[in-house]
Copies of this chain bind each other. A is one copy, B any other.
Amino acid sequence: MGASSRDSHARAATLHDVAQRAGVAVSTASRALTGRRRVSPRLVRRVQSAASALDYSPNVAARSLRLSRTMTLGLIVPKVSNPGFFDFLEGVSSGIEEHGYSLMVTVARGDPHHYRTLIERLHERRMDGIFLVTPPEMPDTSRALEAADTPTLALWKGPASLPLLTSTEEAAIGRAVERLAELGHRRILYLGLPESVPSIRVTWLEQAAHRAGLAVTAVMIPHRRPEQPLQACIEHALAGPDGATALFVDLGLVPALMHLLTARGLRVPADVSLIAFGESPWTLELGLPLASISHTMQALGTAAAAVMIAWLKGERPAPLITVGAGEWIERASIGPAARASRQGIDRVQ
């Protein structure tokens, strides 16, 4: 133990201690440290050195009580294992941190009851603002939120009463679908993992396909031992003269899918076009130039942070904000619809 380390049983130094050591009043010490009002430079120095001598660390709880502001934001996320989710968290965290805010994170189970509990919990802790991520099928939780009267920003989707932040992923999907239409594709197969957060994707994809005159078959692969194995799904969907010629898949399914396609002798994009939701550097550098709807979760996080910070400064956000975090990236995994090889595919089945 160095001489400077305090006895671990001594209570932490308070502003009072600092003021006393510097020979000034507590209010002066407060002003000197926070800089919120003019104090003579001489005293500022004295207070500062007293503070550092005592290892003074302001008590945020006391400050919060006094100012009715906790400088803390809450984040409620559903319990999903989306690979990109940590990036989102990081975006939010770094975005608010530089403005002096901290982040309180709670992970909700699926049920609305738990959501309500967590909202209450954050309310008791008097969050200055809340980021709310609800699973798509979540019923209304707005009552619990109303009571709290806390600036709350919904991500991806949420109750109509809340400002909503989404990304340009929808537009990107639209562009991808249009491109497929140009290439002569007529039917798309979507393979998704149920626990991927933005399952609005499916809706977006369906709408875009409708506009472009394409048909969509959406298949959510259940998490545990699917009754209809993925393999059967795909073969069925790709088969026949009306079979899908293009595949949209969650990135997590790509390895399995590639394996399966290779095993069946189907080539990308000669036999089937492939578009992934999400990017991974490893799919790119290795002879698999995978076209994708890239979605930088981190960008969405920082955007959310920025909107919230502005809100706390009095600038109420628009009801719907779209962030440029989604992008259509065309790569060699898509090509003209493989009408010619239909027969070959039929044989597979």
A134 contacts B by Cβ under 8 Å? no
Interface residues of A in 12-52 (CB under 8 A from B): none
Residue pair A287, B260 in contact (C-beta under 8 Å):
yes
Q: How far is the CA of A275 from the CA of B172 in the complex (A)?
A: 36
A285 contacts B by Cβ under 8 Å? yes
- Name A8's contact: one of B57, B79, B149 (CB within 8 Å): B149
List the one stretch of A119-127, A317-325, A335-343 in contact with chain B: A119-127
Interface residues of A in 263-302 (CB under 8 A from B): 263, 280-283, 285-288
A42 vs chain B, min Cβ distance (A): 26
Interface residues of A in 88-128 (CB under 8 A from B): 89-90, 93-94, 97, 102-107, 120-121, 123-126
A230 contacts B by Cβ under 8 Å? yes
Q: Which residue of B lies closest to A7 (CB)?
A: B149
Contacting residues, chain B, for A64 (C-beta < 8 A)? 61
A80 vs chain B, min Cβ distance (A): 8
Q: How far is the CA of A79 from the CA of B94 in the complex (A)?
A: 10
A87 contacts B by Cβ under 8 Å? yes
A85 contacts B by Cβ under 8 Å? yes
A70 contacts B by Cβ under 8 Å? yes
Quick one: given A124-B58, A287-B260, are A93 and B105 in contact (CB under 8 Å)?
Answer: yes
Q: How far is the CA of A230 from the CA of B282 in the complex (A)?
A: 9
List the one stretch of A175-183, A204-212, A235-243, A249-257 in contact with chain B: A249-257
Residue pair A256, B60 in contact (C-beta under 8 Å):
no
Q: How far is the CA of A231 from the CA of B82 in the complex (A)?
A: 28
Q: Which residue of B lies closest to A121 (CB)?
A: B102
Contacting residues, chain B, for A147 (C-beta < 8 A)? 5-6, 55
Residue pair A60, B105 in contact (C-beta under 8 Å):
no
Contacting residues, chain B, for A103 (C-beta < 8 A)? 104-106
Q: How far is the CA of A106 from the CA of B94 in the complex (A)?
A: 8
Q: Which residue of B lies closest to A8 (CB)?
A: B149
Residue pair B260, A258 in contact (C-beta under 8 Å):
no
Contacting residues, chain B, for A149 (C-beta < 8 A)? 6, 8
Sorted nearest first, the 9 A-B pairs with minimum C-beta distance are A255-B255, A256-B282, A61-B64, A256-B286, A93-B107, A83-B83, A105-B105, A60-B125, A90-B107
| Given A57-B148, A223-B281, A263-B287: 14 more A-B contacts, CB < 8 Å | A8-B149, A57-B123, A61-B61, A61-B62, A61-B126, A65-B65, A81-B83, A86-B89, A89-B105, A104-B104, A224-B281, A231-B286, A255-B282, A258-B258
